[in-house]
Amino acid sequence: MHLLLGFLIALAVGLTGIGGGSFTVPALLLIVGLPAGEAVGTAFVFAGVLRLIAAPFYLFRRNVNSRYFRLMLTGAVPGLILGIIALRGLAHSGNSPVVVLVLGLLLTITAGLSFVPKAQNPNFVVKNSRWLPWLAFPIGIESGFSSAGAGALGTVLLLNYSEMTPAQVVGTDIIFGLVLAVIGSTVHWTLGSISAPILLQLLAGGVPGVVIGCLLAKRVPARKLKLVVAAVALAAGLQLIWSGVRASISSQSASAAKLNTVGSGVTRP
């Protein structure tokens, strides 16, 4: 199962540049059953390795805009650190259902953007490049908190508001996501919030998957595939919300039952 998950997620990353965090975190939470902090840390490393393999394919084809990459990174890195701090704070406070619920909301909103009709403005970044770091700042926050966003939100931003072709958007976003993944992976590895056995199994399926995805990228209509990927991510986000709500209700019920048990055990003088 882990090999298959790694292969399918990596295939999507190689083809579209998105899915490294959007798919991996829900899979690790819902299917594997990892804690939220550990799922995000493992997804960071997994996504980083996938993008490291995919990057040369797009660099060789010259499908990377170095200027937009630098501007986005300027705003995203501070946001990434803030997102990681927020995740660690919630995870250590024992609010695991809250973390799952927030991750679901972030993923649902991110995926839903692909289905919202937007006024296309390809010249926005050309004329207003100074705004690109500020637009990338919340992407960094979401990436740090859930390991998602660098691919999904970054792609949506560049597709709708830059003059680049879809291939250039994917290439630029893969390099952008790679740097964020390296930084995030280093922090999570230092904190010990990574499941090495699960990571190795995911990579066993993911390495061939991302190579095949990159090789097929020229032949598959990227825009149509992105809608399919977004639909799956949206479903995963809604499932996370449902799981978070159920876990929260169960936790409250367990706490109430424990209080009732303690209260019933107290004898009156």
The predicted-structure confidence for 60-82, as pLDDT tens digits, reads as follows 988 899 999 999 999 999 999 98
Report d(CA 123, CA 65) in Å as an integer.
15
What integer pLDDT is reported at residue 142 of this predicted model? 78
Average pLDDT over residues 101-111: 75
Q: Check: CB of residue 93 under 8 Å from CB of residue 102.
A: no
Q: How far is CA 97 from CA 10, 94, 143, 146, 235, in A?
A: 28, 9, 19, 14, 18
The identity of residue 129, as a single letter, is S
| Structure-block tokens of residue 9 | 């997620």
Share of the chain above pLDDT 90, in %: 19
Domain boundaries, the chain: 2-246
First to last CA, the chain: 59
User: Which of 27-41, 46-60, 112-126, 242-256 is the least confident region?
Assistant: 112-126
Considering only residues 229 and 63, tell me which one the structure prediction assigns the higher pLDDT: 63
Q: What are phi and psi of 34, to 5 degrees?
A: -75, 155
The pLDDT of residue 201: 94
Q: pLDDT averaged over the chain?
A: 80
Instruction: Give the integer Cα–Cα distance in Å for 19 and 21.
Output: 6
Higher-pLDDT residue of 93 and 243 is 243
Which range has the top average pLDDT, 105-114, 157-166, 249-258? Answer: 157-166
- Reported as a single tens digit per residue, the pLDDT across 148-183 is 666 767 777 787 778 887 778 888 988 998 998 888
Q: Report whether 198 contacts 33 (CB < 8 A).
A: no
Q: Which residues of 36-45 are buried (b: 16+ CB within 10 A; e: fewer)?
A: bbbbbbbbbb
CB-count burial class (<10 Å; 0-12, 13-18, 19+) for 4? exposed
Q: Sorting pLDDT into bands at 50, 70 and 90, what band is 112? A: confident
Mean pLDDT computed over 138-150: 77
In this predicted structure, the answer to whether residue 19 has a pLDDT above a threshold of 90 is no
Is residue 62 within 8 Å of residue 32, measured between CB atoms?
A: no
